[in-house]
Amino acid sequence: MEWFNSSYLSLGLFFIGLFGVLTQRNVIKTIISINIMDGAAILFLITTNLQPESVPPLTGSDPAMMADPVPQALMITAIVIGVSVTAMCLALFIRMAHRYGSSDWEKIVHRMED
């Protein structure tokens, strides 16, 4: 039953992030919404193969009872990539805010067209 709880939680978080991406006009709020979606995807993939009786993959444990370390390693990589993408988005936002003087998507697009 824990699988369903974490799946519903990650699905709910993903749709909250998607709602933010689709409705926010502020660039910072859009970046935060994308981060929420990223976190929801990572939570879903970490908990998808969760076995309640599994133990951490350490030496001295029964190999049949060990949790699979591959999804954990992939999600750590996904977290690092997500942080890097966020840093790049914020750097581009700072450049864009200095150039166009706004953090509103519509004002920026309007000023780009002029």
Give domain status of residue 7, yes or no: yes
**pTM, two decimal places:** 0.81
* Higher-pLDDT residue of 65, 35: 35
Structural domain contains residue 23: yes
CATH of residue 30: 1.10.287.3510
pLDDT tens-place string over residues 45-104: 888 777 777 777 777 777 777 877 888 889 999 999 999 999 999 999 999 999 999 999
Asked if 104 and 30 count as a contact pair (C-beta separation under 8 A), the reply is: no
Residue 72 is assigned to a structural domain of this protein: yes
Provide the domain count of the chain.
1
CB < 8 Å & 24+ apart, contacts of 78-86: 78/38, 78/41, 78/42, 78/45, 79/42, 82/35, 82/38, 82/39, 82/42, 86/31, 86/34, 86/35
pLDDT of residue 19: 97
Residues of the domain holding 41: 2-53+63-113
